[in-house]
Structure 1
Amino acid sequence: MLLRSLFLLLLVANLGFLAWRTGWLEPVTSAVGLPGPGDGREPQRMAQQLQPQAIKLLAAPPSATVVPADSQPAATPDAAASEPLSDAQRAASSATACLEAGPFGSAERAPVETALRGVQPAVRWEWREAVPGWWLAMGPFPDREAMRNRREELLRRGVTPETVSSGPLLLLVLGRYAQRGEADAQLAALNARGVRSARVLAPPGSGEAQYLLRVPAANAEQQEQLQALTREQSSAHRFAACAPGNGG
């Protein structure tokens, strides 16, 4: 009986709350001063919060303009070429060296000077009488064909001999040296490489005057041209640094 009474009481309370919530009892609650179902919602406050007409869109701040790398002006070749040379570059271009070649016979001087006149910028050269020294040579050969065959064999071994015809003598000169010891040392080096039959001898006709060619001051460009002139010659006729005490 008690449970039934509680059930009926809860049912009546729920029905009363539903009636109040839906506004059916609003005339009664207003008359007695009780709050209505809409009082807890604060409609005025909600109306103040929702004001779409007060919303304003703000413009984004201006951003930095990015210029593509392709649109930037590139340095022109003329501008790069006009940049001044560094101290190291100027020093390298102006550095000179003393070069020397020979000895040469009297008859060889004229064609050598003709070749030197083709070097640009022009170089200054001078001749010095050479003291007769020693040759490292092969021969004499019985004929030019035998000498040519031997020369081709030496070229295959990386040795470039000089062909010398002194009267009836046909020789291949592998080097010319001022001191006998220098010639002997080179002969030993060639023997170690398998090059045989060379020997050290005094130049034929040692009484003939021999001359050393010296270029006292040649820059890098001139040095390259001078070396090209004698690249196919024997080691004695190629340009090398001046001997100590002979530099310009």
Structure 2
Amino acid sequence: MLRLAAIVLLLANAGYYAWSQGLLQGWGLGPASESEPQRLEQQIEPQNLRLLPPGGQGPASAQPARAAATTPDEPPACLQAGMFDARQAEALRQAAAQLPAGSWSLEPVQAAGRWMVYLGRFPDEEAVARKRAELRALKVDYDRPGAALEPGLSLGRYSTEEGAQRALGQLAGQGVRKARVVQERSDTPGYTLRLPAVSGAQRAHIDATLQPALAGKALRPCG
């Protein structure tokens, strides 16, 4: 038995040596060859390989950085604010004097008068409450008339006296009594600030310069 085991081991060693040295390639037996031609065949599209500079930043990764660094400025836009009375316009004129000449103007405008269909004045708030109840029963809308006409009720505001008179006639047809037309506001002169060409880069400087004199009015696109 020992002699048989020795013979088998000797044959196994001889077979492995022949296999590892490629002596059995003719029978299709042998280890995979790692010769240079075979390694080249295993490469996937070697012509597309590119060497990168240190840091791994190739042309593709550099392109977005250049694009982000060149953001175009916003196109100039026309802005305006108003209207301002004579006192507010003078304060605004002094503030705007810090801006480049020709970049702004104060343009005179006329605010049209306004008329109201009005109920009042009433002797007290209790009388106002009773009238509100009557109007609700008639399905007539109402609003507060403003401090100068309290205690009372506004049944509508109109840009012309003719419009207010027409509304008064319609309300009379609905059962509203003792209403009348009053002029809530007369024609009022004023001024509008106009900045014809404000770029995005200029906007922050203009806001900081004019904000204290704008009297709470916002700069808006020109209408």
TM-score (norm 1): 0.33
TM-score, length of structure 2 as denominator length: 0.35
Greater Rg, structure 1 or structure 2? 1
Higher relative contact order, chain-length normalized (CA < 8 Å, sep 6+):
2
